[in-house]
Amino acid sequence: MDSTRLTISRAYAQYTIVTDHAIIRVERRSEEEQRQASAIVLAVGGIVGPVLAAITDRIGMPGGPTRLYLRPRDMPPLAEIIDVMTCWAAEAPAELTALVEWPRVEPYRPVTFYPRAAIAKVGLSRWRGIELTLKREAAREVVLPIPPWYQARVRLHLARAGYLSQGGGGSAAPSATAEHS
C-alpha cells in the first residue's frame, strides 16, 4: 500500500488519523494521566500549575498509565481489517508505522481501528469532532474529538475518501467505491 495517505489530528489525549480504509484513534494520554495533570493545575494553580502539568505531561507521572491488558496479535494489513480492533501501538500494521507521518507514541499505547466495513455513518461536528455510528449493536456511537484548526483538513479527507457526502460534510453512509475530488 504505497499510496497510503494520512490526515492526522492531534489532541491532548489522542491522535485521530483518517485514511481511505479506516479511521484510527491512537491514545496519547490515558484518562488517569489526564486526571493527574488536571489535579496538578488545580492544586498548584497560578502560573506554576500549568507549567508543572506540561512538564509532567512530557516526562510522565510516577506509576505511569493504567495497564490495559490486550492479547498480542498479528494485525492484518489495513485494507483487510473488517471489524473494530484495538492493539498496542507496537503491533500496529507495519505499512502504517513505517510512514513518516505516523505518530510516535510509547509502544504500550492502545490503537483502535474503525474500518470502513464497520462504519454505518460518519459525521463531522464543529464542537464534537468525528461522530461515528458503527454497524454493531453495542457501543454504536463513537466520538473522536478534533481541534478546530484540524477540521478543514479532516473534512477534506473524509469527503475525498467517500466518508462524507459531497454536499457539505453532514452525515453520510460511507461508500466503498465513491471517490470525491
Query: pLDDT in tens for each of the 181 residues of the chain?
Result: 445 789 999 887 889 999 999 999 998 876 665 566 566 666 766 666 666 666 666 655 555 555 555 566 678 899 999 999 999 888 999 999 999 999 988 888 889 999 999 999 999 988 889 999 999 888 899 999 999 999 999 999 999 999 875 444 444 444 443 333 3
- What pLDDT was estimated at residue 120? 92
In this prediction, residue 41 carries a pLDDT of 60
Is the CB of residue 62 less than 8 Å from the CB of residue 91? Answer: no
Q: What pLDDT does residue 59 have?
A: 58
pTM here is: 0.72
Please tell me the predicted confidence (pLDDT) of residue 130.
92
At residue 173, the pLDDT reads: 45
C-alpha cell at 158: 473524509
> How much is the pLDDT for 83?
93
What pLDDT is recorded for position 31? 61
**Predicted pLDDT at 11:** 82
Q: Which of 22, 19, 106 lies closest to 57 in space, CA to CA?
A: 106
